[in-house]
Structure 1
Amino acid sequence: MTTTPATDLAGAAQKKAHGVALSDTAAAKVKSLLAQEGREDLRLRVAVQPGGCSGLIYQLYFDERFLDGDAAVDFDGVEVIVDKMSVPYLDGASIDFEDTIQKQGFTIDNPNAQGSCACGDSFH
């Protein structure tokens, strides 16, 4: 397992080995969720799966597995892994966490998405 360390400049996450960046805010939220789970063996897995009205959906979940071909980057103690099939779809994507009156949750800004459905849950 090879993990690439990530660094942030001026608070903005930079693109790394698997192409996915994790903001400082998102990393802090993931750390908080992991602390609630009480497990230190979990990683944040980001994947693209077929589904949704536009053809592809994002999957973000905690995973204890490290599969053959997974790419991993450590963001200040939060390991983000992406499977080899999802890497091309996620190259250049950035993950953030919003906590406002209008919205609470993780957001993904993906320059590879050519369009999305009205609800914003899927893309193509």
Structure 2
Amino acid sequence: MTDTALTADVPVREHGVLLTDAASDKVKSLLAQEGRDDLRLRVAVQPGGCSGLIYQLYFDERYLEGDKAVDFDGVEVIVDDMSIPYLDGATIDFKDTISEQGFTIDNPNAAGGCACGDSFH
């Protein structure tokens, strides 16, 4: 589904997850390495980890009932309907520095996390 806008810079999205340009570029690069153009980036929240919830971030070729999708410059991000409340306003970024490397999720809904950094509540 395409985004529609209330104003020129306030898009209405099916889910509240944002993907930065750096993350979008990295996803495109990974998909190109795999030679796949039929995959989407799925973001989900699952029970688990020491704080109660863990993020799931992976490529998926499926659409499931209740999925919401947003296209970010050619990268489709899908979120299941149960994860949307936990991820509304979250930003997925990609860092490639000496101190950080990989995808990061900045989630304003996470009240706290654990020392491992893999789970939140």
Would the TM-score normalized by the shorter structure come out above 0.5? yes
What is residue 61 of structure 1 aligned with on the other side?
58
Q: After the TM superposition, which parts of structure 1 deviate over 2 Å for at least 4 consecutive aligned residues? A: 4-7, 14-17
Unaligned runs of 5+ in 2: 6-10
What is residue 20 of structure 2 aligned with on the other side?
23
Query: 1:102: how far off?
Result: 1.3
Is 1:99 the counterpart of 2:99 in the alignment? no
Mapping for residues 37-52 of structure 1, pairs under 5 Å? 37-52=34-49
Q: Distance in 2 between matches of 1:6 and 1:45?
A: 21
Query: What is the TM-score of this pair, normalised by structure 2?
Result: 0.91
Q: Distance in 1 between matches of 2:118 and 2:67?
A: 24
The 3-state SS of whatever aligns with 1:80 is strand
Q: Distance in 2 between matches of 1:75 and 1:113?
A: 24
Q: Distance in 2 between matches of 1:111 and 1:83?
A: 18
Instruction: Provide Cα deviations, 1:39-63, integer angstroms capped at 9, x if missing partner.
Output: 1000000000011100000000000
Are residues 103 and 26 of structure 1, via their aligned partners in 2, closer, same or farther at CA, if it must alter by over 3 Å?
A: same
**Counterpart among 101, 114, 118 of residue 121 in structure 1:** 118
Instruction: Provide Cα deviations, 1:70-102, integer angstroms capped at 9, x if missing partner.
Output: 000000000000001100100000000000011
Query: 1:15: how far off?
Result: 7.5
- Aligned residues of 2:89 and 2:107 also touching (Cα < 8 A): yes
Mapping for residues 68-79 of structure 1, pairs under 5 Å? 68-79=65-76
Are residues 114 and 15 of structure 1, via their aligned partners in 2, closer, same or farther at CA, if it must alter by over 3 Å?
A: farther
Are residues 5 and 34 of structure 1, via their aligned partners in 2, closer, same or farther at CA, if it must alter by over 3 Å?
A: farther
For these two proteins, the number of residue pairs brought into alignment is 116
Unaligned runs of 5+ in 1: 8-13
The 3-state SS of whatever aligns with 1:66 is coil
Query: 1:118: how far off?
Result: 1.0
Q: Distance in 1 between matches of 2:92 and 2:80?
A: 16
